[in-house]
């Protein structure tokens, strides 16, 4: 374990970590700190692991931490296909070993108006892109959550179209902030938070940060993501955090940080202004 991870471990203990895990969790060794981390107060693990959105398991915030308890995350294969020189099927642990784990303490803003600050563990998704070398025709990346209705009770209902799909433009996926995530609070991800592998896109509304990924497809067409399919006038492809573009049914100007009473203003791109150049010249009201 590096000294930085040891320091982080100390802070975690003071804040009352470790996380509430529905399943056995493993400490991740060699985690390096990241310059992308915020110094804002980290939300207690107890809250982040018991207040979840994960419709495959439940539509209640408290449901996934109970219903995902026995979800099997090993063995787990991840297929990388589409506009790549050859389709490849990886063991998830081989993906996790592709680069050194970093701790990224990010703000996470849900489209519903609540937010948290989480010490995620992972590395930039661009590390995987570098290794699979997408072809010139690849302009987008589509991510899919595992389809396992036997294990995921929500997939036996029609609350959403299954499996859950998300997507990014290739340049968004290449941005160093886009995190391929397999841990939080220094340990492997709890099932309810997206084990074994998820995305974390801190400048976008939380629903873009897809959990339990088992397919990654490089494509020349813009993916049609699940929430856009479900309500196209309410959820767009980009879904960048934007306090000036309200959801048709509620304001996006402010948010409630879990554990706080008063609302705080929501920041453009959730405060991650370094992504602004990805969208220069675009009408962000139209491309919501
Ligand atoms: N991924 C899948 N497969 N299914 C989901 O229901 N919910 C999304 C996102 N990823 C969701 C998902 C939403 S709306 C949010 S806010 C975040 O996960 C919540 O992540 P967390 O529970 O780890 O805080």
Each residue of 24-59: pLDDT tens digit?
689 999 999 999 999 999 999 999 999 999 999 999
145 Cβ closer than 6 Å to some ligand 1 atom: yes
Residues 269, 252: Cα–Cα separation, whole Å: 12
Burial of 86 (0-12, 13-18, 19+ CB in 10 A): exposed
58 Cβ closer than 6 Å to some ligand 1 atom: no
Q: What is the pLDDT of residue 25?
A: 82
Centre of ligand 1 from the C-alpha of residue 209, in Å: 6
Task: Kindly report the three-state secondary structure assignment for every residue of the chain.
Answer: CCHHHHHHHHHHHHCCCCCCCCCCCCECCCCEECCCCCCCCCCCHHHHCCCCCECCCECCCCHHHHHCCCCCCCCCEEEEEECCCCCEEEEHHHHHCCCCCEEEEEEEECCCCEEEEEEEEEEECHHHHHHHCCCCCCCEEEEEECCCCCCCHHHHCCCCCCCCEEEEEHHHHHCCCCEEEEEECCEECCHHHCCCCEEECCCECHHHCCCCEEEEEEECCCCCCHHHHHCCCCCCCCCECCCCCCECCECCCEEEECCCCCCEECCHHHHCHHHHHHHCCCCCCCCC
Paired tokens of 243: 């306090």
Q: What is the pLDDT of residue 4?
A: 37
Best of 21, 44, 49, 53 to mutate for ligand 1, by most ligand atoms within 8 A of CB? 53
Q: What is the pLDDT of residue 23?
A: 55
210 Cβ closer than 6 Å to some ligand 1 atom: yes
Centre of ligand 1 from the C-alpha of residue 136, in Å: 31
**Which protein residue has the closest C-alpha to ligand 1 atom 12?**
210
Residues 110, 207: Cα–Cα separation, whole Å: 7
> Can you tell me which atom of ligand 1 is nearest the CA of 55?
6
**Which protein residue has the closest C-alpha to ligand 1 atom 13?**
207
Centre of ligand 1 from the C-alpha of residue 143, in Å: 13
56 Cβ closer than 6 Å to some ligand 1 atom: yes
Sheet holding 88-91, edge to edge: 88-91, 77-82, 213-219, 140-145, 165-169
> Can you tell me which atom of ligand 1 is nearest the CA of 164?
3
Neighbouring-strand partners of residue 115? 109, 257
Q: How far is CA 170 from CA 3, 96, 140, 218, 230, in A?
A: 35, 21, 5, 8, 23
Nearest to 31, CA basis, from 92, 95, 102: 102
Q: What is the pLDDT of residue 7?
A: 35
**Domain residue ranges of the chain, discontinuous segments joined by +:** 3-279
Q: What is the pLDDT of residue 255?
A: 98
Q: Which fold is adopted by the domain 3-279?
A: Sulfite Oxidase; Chain A, domain 2 (3.90.420)
Q: What is the pLDDT of residue 1?
A: 33
Centre of ligand 1 from the C-alpha of residue 73, in Å: 17
Beta-strand pair 32-33/102-109: parallel
207 Cβ closer than 6 Å to some ligand 1 atom: yes
Residues lower than pLDDT 70 in the chain? 1-24
């Amino acid at each position: 374990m590096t000294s930085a991870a040891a320091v982080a471990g100390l802070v975690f203990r003071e804040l009352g970590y470790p996380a509430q895990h529905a399943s056995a969790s493993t400490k991740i060794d060699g985690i390096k700190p990241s310059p992308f981390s915020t110094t804002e107060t980290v939300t207690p693990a107890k809250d982040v692991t018991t207040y979840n959105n994960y419709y495959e398991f439940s539509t209640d915030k408290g449901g996934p931490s109970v219903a995902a308890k026995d979800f099997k995350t090993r063995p787990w294969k991840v297929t990388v296909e589409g506009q790549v020189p050859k389709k490849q099927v990886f063991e998830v642990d081989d993906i996790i070993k592709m680069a050194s784990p970093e701790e990224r303490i990010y703000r996470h803003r849900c489209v519903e108006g609540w937010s948290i600050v989480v010490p995620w563990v992972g590395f930039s998704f661009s590390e995987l892109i570098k290794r699979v070398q997408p072809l010139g025709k690849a302009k987008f990346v589509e991510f899919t959550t595992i389809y396992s209705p036997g294990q995921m009770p929500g997939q036996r209902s029609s609350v959403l179209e299954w499996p859950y799909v998300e997507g990014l433009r290739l340049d968004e996926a290449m941005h160093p902030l886009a995190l391929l995530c397999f841990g939080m609070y220094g340990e492997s991800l709890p099932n309810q938070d997206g084990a074994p592998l998820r995305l974390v896109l801190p400048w976008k509304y939380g629903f873009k940060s897809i959990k339990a990924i088992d397919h990654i497809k490089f494509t020349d067409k813009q993916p049609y993501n699940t929430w856009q399919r479900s309500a196209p006038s309410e959820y767009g492809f980009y879904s960048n955090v934007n306090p000036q573009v309200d959801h048709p049914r509620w304001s996006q100007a402010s948010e409630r940080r879990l554990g706080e009473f008063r609302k705080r203003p929501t920041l453009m791109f959730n405060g991650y202004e370094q992504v602004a150049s990805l969208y220069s010249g675009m009408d962000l009201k139209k491309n919501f």
